[in-house]
Amino acid sequence: MNKKVAVILSGCGVYDGAEIHESVITLLRLDQRGALVQCFAPDIEQMHVVDHFSGDETGETRNVLVESARIARGEIKDVRELHAADYDALIIPGGFGAAKNLSDFAIAGANCTVQPDVLKAAQGFVSAQKPVGLMCIAPAMAAKIFGQGITCTIGKDEETAAALTKMGAVHQECEVSEIVEDSQHKLVTTPAYMLAQSISQAASGIYKLVDRVLELAQH
């Protein structure tokens, strides 16, 4: 039976939304493995909008759900409609949107909070003991979603790892091509573009993350 997987996006573009390569690789691998996928995003304004050519803020306002729809080819729902009972697993790609729109980690660091609708949806999977995959900077939300003692990785960035540790997570260094699994909590994480120097490097760990999340969804 095909597994049903929810994917939460955070906009469209590495600097102010979901990392596009990570998102597409995730959706590709899920499709290759025969999973049935539904994308979600919060219906909120982005923290800010960044010109991805110049790197400058533009002063525009954009909606996270509307921008995420670009990646999902329009097939997306408000994250408030996401209920763990309807799905077998959850995956959240990275990009600064995870730290700016899904949470305020980019500003608040270890004192961050997760956007309430996203937090409620994600904690539904934790309560149901269903697997969750977080990649790139998204594991910065792990301690807020799972609680103290959760094991995860953001790769090797010492400053970010220190913030995760301060929040109560157990950080484990990891190569770009590998995953870190907290088997007790069914959380799988991989560094992706926290370390990747190419799209194929990012894909190496993301494929393993997706495959493992689907395996855990069997149990």
Active site residues per annotation: 136
User: CA-to-CA distance for 190 and 205, rounded, in angstroms?
Assistant: 6
Which residue type, as a one-letter code, is found at position 54? S
Contacts 24+ apart (CB under 8 A), 183-187: 185/126, 185/146, 185/150, 185/151, 186/129, 186/130, 186/131, 186/132, 186/216, 187/131, 187/132, 187/133, 187/134, 187/142, 187/146, 187/150, 187/151, 187/152
User: CA-to-CA distance for 145 and 131, rounded, in angstroms?
Assistant: 13
Residues 6+ apart with CB under 8 A from 157: 194
Query: How many Cβ atoms are within 10 Å of 94's Cβ, its own excluded?
Result: 30
Could you tell me the CA-to-CA distances from 41 to 4, 72, 140 in Å, in that order? Answer: 17, 10, 18
Could you tell me the CA-to-CA distances from 182 to 39, 99, 108, 130, 188 in Å, in that order? Answer: 24, 22, 25, 12, 7
